[in-house]
Each structure stands twice: as C-alpha cells, then as structure tokens.
C-alpha cells in the first residue's frame, strides 16, 4: 500500500509530507455528490445505485426517490450495506433494519458491525472492514474509507486514488465524461429509467431564484465569515441555490443540509462555526439538558456507548447535533447526567457506580 503525499501551501511554497489518510465521500441534498478524491457533481437518478462496490466483498447502496419542484429531482431516502452475509438498511428518520429485523435500540453490535447514534442528527455504522457511514436520516450521507481501500473502490464515490480524472470509471473500466452517463452505469436495477442531464431549477423560475438568493446569502454573511478564506464557498452557494430553487416543502429541509455541509467542511479544516444559533430557519431545539454542538464527542454520547466501547476513538468527521455538555452523557431516558453516575456492564448485567465485582482473584 502506497502513501499519499499531502501538500499544504505555506508562505508561497508547498510543504509536503507522506501521510496515509482516510477519505470521505458524500451525498447531500438533491443530491450533490463528492467522491473520495474530492470531485463534485450532481446526479438526479431515481433508482438504487452503488455508492461503493467491492465485488464479492461488500456494497453500499443508495436509494434515491423523486422529490422537489415538479418531481424532476431526486433525494436520498436510505442507505443499504451488504457485508459478510448481513444486510443493513439505514432508513428515513433513523429507522434501522439488520437482516430484515427492525432495531429500535442502539448501540447495536453484531459480527464486527456496530451501529449507534453519535448526535441527535446522525446515526453511524462502523463496519468490520474499517468503513464508516454517517447518515442524518434525511438527506446527508458520509462514507469514510481508510487507506487500505486505496485503488479498491468503485461506484458513485469514485476510485480513491487521489486522481479525480478517473473518478467517473464504470464497472466495465471505461471512464464517462458526463455525471448522468456515469451515474446511470451504477444502477443496481437495470430496468430503472436512465437519468438525463441536470436542469438547474433556478433558470426556469425567476421568482424562486430571487427568493433562494435571500436564503443562500447566509453562506456569504458574517455567520460563516471565519471560514471564508479557508473553504471556498462558491460550490456550496451553487448547491444551495439549486436545492432551495427546487424546494416544494418547508424551506429548512432544503436550506439547512447544505449549510450544514459547508459547516462540516469548515470543521474538517479546523474552523468550528456554531451556525445554527444564528440562522432562524435552522435552529435545532435540544432537550434533556443537551446543547447544540458542531462536533460532539461520539464516544460519550450515552452511558451505553461508554459501557459497550471503552476503546472508542473520536471520528475525524464531525456529526453536528444535540449532545450533552462536557463530562455529561445521556441516560436511558434521554436526560443528561454526570458520566460518573453511569452504571457499568458485565455479562449483560448492570452494576451501579462504586460497586466492585470480584470472582476469585479477578476484579473488574
């Protein structure tokens, strides 16, 4: 496995190091895709598609349905994962199914697979092969692959080899030039109708365009000013205009995901912005003593998380949402309490804090 050369522009010169890095692919909003190698494109197919396809090993499949103005656009409805003989479906509103059975309580662990909530907004699946998936239950999906997948991925997430020029590679090995032609080649159901080139909804409705510009102006306002010189906002503004122009429901469902995506990219670049408190349409009410956090600690989300995974490592990909303040965690009733009050688990049994359990000369 080769190293990835990471270069940073500093004082007019490139400072380069060799570093093995995780890479993240995403599908946001209507949906707007970004490959592991950072290539951005729009694809509006209505079918199921391979996001990541590793023949004979595992698949991540996205299910896209009609949505938006006139039903001309698509949105992500669910993600499905096939690995080691198991079928996992992360559905709308955080419904979770494993091998056809609905799972109503997390964390859920089975055969090297762990699924749990990392914030009020995001569910996370950790797979036995090192892949992780974040899903907000509506329109945002993030798939993160470790360096062991370099040159081993194909599908809508691209090739993961630091070369954007071959990201539109098909199963047959040829490279498409148009997003629609590329996306259509990754259908899981051949009889689905092929998607055509994307039509920008702002160009067909001037009134919607003007209204959308008022909402998307948030991206270029003081709210995100701290990130303006770190993450270029132009592509996110374009995506925001597209989504809000095509919106037929509550505008927050079209506006907030793309603002959240820009904030997530800012966080990844080291700029944390508490943007939801400044944008009325995207305010996130928190209960049980929780507070909005840009990058909550997934390892201390609940007492169950702490008890079941003491080797947990915080992800490099932030999953915004409601979470308890520092040194607190959620109990089984959804209320924050001091971590020191969490019970411990052993052999399926709960033990209150302060209790020492012994067997012979062994104490846990």
Q: What is the pLDDT confidence band of residue 363, given thresholds at 50, 70 and 90?
A: very low
With 50 as the cut, is the pLDDT of residue 35 above it?
yes
With 70 as the cut, is the pLDDT of residue 243 above it?
yes
CB under 8 A, 24+ apart: contacts of 330-337 = 330/288, 330/290, 330/301, 330/302, 330/303, 331/302, 331/303, 332/302, 332/303, 332/304, 333/288, 334/287, 334/288, 335/288, 335/289, 336/288, 336/289, 336/290, 337/303
| Mean local confidence (pLDDT), 235-255 | 90
Q: What is the 3-state secondary structure (H, E, C) of the chain?
A: CCCEEEEEEECCEEEEEEECCCEEEEEECCCEEECCCCCEEECCCCCEEEEEEECCCEEEEEEEEEECHHHCEEEEEEEEEEECCEEEEECHHHCEEECCEECCCCCEEECCEEEEECCCCCEEEECCCCCEEEECCCCEEEEEECHHHCCCCCCCCCCCCCCHHHCCECCCCCECCCHHHHHHCCECCCCCCCCCCCCCHHHCCHHHHHHHHHHHHHHHCHHHHHHCCCCCCHHHHHHHHHHHHCCCCCCHHHHHHHHHHHHHHHHHCCCCCCHHHHCHHHCCCCCCCCEEECCCCHHHCEHHHHHHCCCCCCCCCCCCEEECCCCEEECCCCCEEEHHHCCEEECCEEECCCCCCEECCEEC
CB burial of residue 201 (10 Å; 0-12, 13-18, 19+): buried
With 80 as the cut, is the pLDDT of residue 72 above it?
no
Q: What is the pLDDT confidence band of residue 191, given thresholds at 50, 70 and 90?
A: very high
User: How many Å separate Cα 316 from the centre of its chain?
Assistant: 12
pLDDT value for 21: 78
> What is the rounded distance in angstroms from the CA atom of residue 140 to the CA atom of residue 316?
17
| Mean local confidence (pLDDT), 20-48 | 92
> What is the rounded distance in angstroms from the CA atom of residue 186 to the CA atom of residue 61?
10
Say if residues 212 and 240 touch (Cβ distance below 8 Å): yes
List the single range of 141-150, 178-187, 274-283, 304-313 with lowest mean pLDDT.
304-313
Say if residues 169 and 157 touch (Cβ distance below 8 Å): no
Say if residues 4 and 23 touch (Cβ distance below 8 Å): no
Q: What is the pLDDT confidence band of residue 43, given thresholds at 50, 70 and 90?
A: very high
> What is the rounded distance in angstroms from the CA atom of residue 44 to the CA atom of residue 138?
16
With 70 as the cut, is the pLDDT of residue 8 above it?
no
Torsion of CA 5, 8, 14, 15, to 10 degrees: -70
β-pair partners for 88:
81, 98
Say if residues 115 and 129 touch (Cβ distance below 8 Å): no
pLDDT value for 324: 96
Q: What rounded mean pLDDT belongs to the chain?
A: 89
In angstroms, the Cα distances linking 68 to 31, 125, 150, 235 are 11, 28, 36, 20
pLDDT value for 56: 79
β-pair partners for 293:
321
pLDDT value for 1: 35
Give the tens place of pLDDT for each residue, 118-162: 999 999 999 999 999 999 998 899 999 999 999 999 999 999 999
Write down the pTM of the prediction: 0.88
| Mean local confidence (pLDDT), 320-326 | 95
Higher pLDDT, 68 or 204: 204
Please state which architecture CATH assigns to domain 21-184. 3-Layer(aba) Sandwich (3.40)
Domain residue extents for the chain: 21-184, 201-282, 291-363
């Amino acid at each position: 496995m080769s190293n990835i050369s990471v270069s940073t522009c500093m004082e007019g010169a490139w400072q380069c190091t060799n570093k093995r890095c995780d890479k993240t692919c995403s599908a946001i909003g209507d949906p707007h895709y970004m490959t592991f190698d950072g290539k951005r494109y729009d694809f509006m197919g209505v079918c199921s598609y391979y996001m990541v396809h590793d023949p004979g090993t595992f698949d991540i499949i996205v299910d896209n349905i009609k949505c938006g103005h006139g039903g001309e656009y698509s949105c992500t409805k669910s993600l499905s994962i096939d690995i080691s003989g198991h079928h996992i479906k992360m559905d709308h509103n955080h419904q979770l199914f494993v091998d056809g059975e609905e799972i109503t309580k997390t964390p859920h662990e089975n055969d090297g697979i762990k699924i749990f909530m990392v914030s009020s907004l995001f569910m996370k699946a950790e797979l036995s092969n090192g892949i992780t998936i974040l899903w907000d239950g509506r329109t945002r999906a993030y798939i993160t692959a470790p360096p062991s997948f370099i040159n081993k991925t194909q599908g809508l997430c691209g090739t993961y080899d630091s070369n954007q020029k071959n990201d539109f590679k098909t199963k047959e090995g040829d490279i498409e030039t148009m997003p629609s032609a590329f996306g259509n080649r990754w259908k899981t159901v051949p009889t689905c109708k092929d998607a055509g080139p994307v039509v920008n909804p702002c160009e067909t409705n001037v009134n919607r365009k003007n209204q959308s510009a008022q909402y998307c102006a948030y991206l270029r306002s003081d709210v995100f000013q701290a990130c303006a010189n770190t993450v270029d906002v132009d592509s996110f503004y374009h995506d925001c205009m597209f989504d809000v122009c095509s919106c037929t429901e509550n505008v927050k469902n079209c506006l907030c995901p793309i603002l959240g995506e820009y904030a997530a990219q800012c966080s990844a670049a080291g700029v944390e912005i508490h943007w939801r408190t400044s944008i009325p349409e995207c305010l996130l009410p928190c209960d049980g003593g929780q507070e909005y956090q840009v990058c909550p600690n997934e390892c201390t989300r609940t007492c169950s998380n702490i008890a079941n995974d003491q080797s947990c490592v915080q992800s490099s990909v932030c999953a915004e949402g409601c979470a308890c303040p520092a040194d607190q965690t959620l109990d089984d009733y959804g209320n924050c309490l001091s971590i020191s009050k969490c019970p411990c688990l052993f052999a399926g049994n709960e033990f209150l804090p302060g209790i020492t359990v012994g067997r012979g000369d062994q104490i846990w």
